[in-house]
């Protein structure tokens, strides 16, 4: 048996929800290891649609243990709202099937406010965040002033923790022309929410170690994508955590030896939400067609995604930095009916050809894609569950993508439905 890490290989929104759901049906434990409620997964099960942000995808399946790891930043109020919403859809959620790491840091109202203030700067400079306080919460974690889940169990010292946090934030708010945040008000809010959060608190690193010893299958569920990684992405237009597979170990409290197979979810074209470079972006009719056929709107924000051709250079870079073992190619059916399809195989930059996306912000914005053109297909790939059901040109496209990125295709997804998958390699049997 193998433990599987699922990560995005582009800028997020690659269709991880469906693939994670397909895999979670075969897993015993499902773990979220980074990010916060800025991430969104949409699952469609027997006609019922579930939209998850913080909850691991395994929560909608009976008999699974879901875990929120220490690498996640948790907004306790958003968490409780999501729990109630999913419960209303008939899903059982309690301390028996859901655990939260005792060392996970909290997202507080002061973080969300700061995020919004920064994104609405008078000079117009912004990162394109979801304004949910993710970045400021990670800042406090690194600066060692965060309030963590375990602090909710220590009411005698909680006020001192709040005052220490606001010592920094209120000085910052004053510089930004904002009123100071009231410590007593925040303290009171945390005391009120604590009894609802604490039943889920657990040393999840021990839970996961027990699962490994019992030879249970663990699925590590990532959020966002490799090119939004704080170290390896298109900085500064990135998220505030590491999104690559290595974070699954650190963000869950396990050693890297527990990560057996890394599945990179990879869209058959490319999308991006928010600001930042996008070498293969299409602003023409084809770009609009991809967005309409792919229903490219964010699960959490509802923002329309930017669309473009598949970027083999970017994905191959993500495969290296993320240690990806195989990819799940999603939304192949969105390309149905195109006369020709382009793939980016390199970039022109300052008169030279480069085969990777450079680190500097100026160079990232200045690259020009080099395309290879392939014939499209008139037949339909939607709902295919075997190679024999695909048009010959679609098979050639998949195989050529495989060659260009230097990584095998383990799965192909041909519709939003969970079982519409062509499986070449079962990650759990790697």
Find out whether 55 and 83 touch, Cβ atoms under 8 Å. yes
- Report the alpha-carbon angle 321-429-205, nearest 5: 65
3-class SS shares of the chain: helix, strand, coil, % to 5? 35, 20, 40
Ramachandran angles phi, psi of 84, nearest 5°:
-65, -40
- Catalytic site residue 187? no
Q: Measured between alpha carbons, how far is 58 from 26 in angstroms, rounded to an integer?
A: 10
Residue-level length of the chain: 430
Q: Measured between alpha carbons, how far is 386 from 381 in angstroms, rounded to an integer?
A: 10
Find out whether 135 and 115 touch, Cβ atoms under 8 Å. yes
Beta bridge partners of 106: 74
Phi-psi region of 291 (alpha: psi -120 to 50; beta: other; left: phi over 0): alpha
Query: Do you find a cis peptide bond into 203, omega within 30 degrees of 0?
Result: no
Look at the alpha carbons of 315, 317, 320, 322 in this order and tell me if their dihedral is positive or negative: negative
Q: Measured between alpha carbons, how far is 307 from 386 in angstroms, rounded to an integer?
A: 27
Q: Measured between alpha carbons, how far is 343 from 269 in angstroms, rounded to an integer?
A: 9
Residue-wise DSSP of 126-167: -----SSSHHHHHHHHHTT---BGGGGG-HHHHHHHHHHHHH
- Catalytic site residue 13? yes
Residue-wise DSSP of 343-378: EEEEEEETTEEESS--SSHHHHHH-EEEEEEEE--S
| Those residues with Cβ within 8 angstroms of residue 64's Cβ, 6 or more apart along the chain or in another chain | 24, 27, 28, 29, 30, 58, 97
Catalytic choice (21, 37, 41, 140): 41
Q: Measured between alpha carbons, how far is 412 from 414 in angstroms, rounded to an integer?
A: 6
**3-state class (DSSP) for residue 72:** strand
What tokens does 81 get? 């709202």
Is 151 exposed, middle or buried, given 0-12, 13-18 or 19+ CB atoms closer than 10 A? buried
Q: Which residues are catalytic?
A: 13, 41
């Amino acid at each position: 048996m193998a433990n599987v890490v699922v990560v995005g290989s582009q800028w997020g929104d690659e269709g991880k929800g469906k693939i994670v759901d397909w895999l979670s049906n075969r897993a015993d434990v499902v773990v979220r290891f980074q990010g916060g409620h800025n991430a969104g997964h949409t699952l469609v099960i027997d006609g019922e649609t579930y939209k998850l942000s913080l909850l691991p995808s395994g929560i909608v399946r009976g008999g699974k243990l879901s875990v929120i790891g220490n690498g996640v930043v948790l907004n306790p109020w958003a968490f409780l709202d999501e729990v109630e919403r999913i419960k209303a859809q008939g899903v059982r959620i309690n301390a028996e099937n859901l655990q939260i790491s005792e060392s996970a840091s909290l997202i507080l109202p002061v973080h969300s406010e700061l995020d919004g203030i920064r994104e609405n700067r008078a000079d117009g400079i912004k990162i394109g965040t979801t304004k949910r306080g993710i970045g400021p919460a990670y800042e406090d974690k690194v600066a060692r002033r965060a309030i963590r889940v375990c602090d909710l169990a220590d009411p005698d010292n909680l006020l001192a923790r709040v005052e220490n946090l606001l010592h920094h934030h209120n000085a910052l708010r004053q510089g930004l022309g904002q009123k100071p945040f009231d410590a007593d008000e925040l303290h009171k809010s945390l005391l009120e929410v604590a009894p609802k959060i604490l039943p889920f608190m657990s040393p999840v690193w021990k839970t996961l170690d027990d699962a490994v010893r019992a030879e249970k299958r663990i699925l590590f569920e990532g959020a966002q994508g490799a090119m939004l990684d704080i170290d390896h992405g298109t900085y500064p237009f990135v998220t505030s955590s590491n999104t690559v597979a290595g974070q699954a170990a650190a963000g869950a409290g396990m050693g890297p030896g527990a990560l057996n197979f890394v599945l990179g979810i990879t869209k058959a074209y490319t999308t991006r939400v928010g600001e930042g470079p996008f070498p293969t972006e299409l602003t023409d009719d084809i770009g609009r067609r991809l967005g309409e056929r792919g229903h490219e709107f964010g699960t959490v924000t509802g923002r329309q995604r930017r669309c473009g051709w598949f970027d083999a250079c970017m994905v191959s870079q993500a495969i290296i930095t993320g240690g990806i073992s195989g990819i799940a190619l999603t939304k192949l059916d969105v390309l149905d009916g195109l006369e020709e399809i382009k793939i980016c195989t390199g970039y022109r930059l300052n008169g030279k050809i480069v085969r990777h996306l450079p680190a500097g912000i100026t160079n990232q914005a200045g690259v020009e894609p080099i395309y290879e053109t392939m014939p499209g297909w008139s037949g339909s790939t939607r709902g295919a569950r075997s190679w024999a059901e695909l048009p010959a040109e679609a098979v050639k496209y998949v195989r050529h993508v495989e060659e260009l990125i230097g990584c095998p295709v383990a799965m192909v997804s041909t519709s939003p439905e969970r079982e519409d998958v062509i499986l070449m390699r079962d990650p759990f049997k790697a």
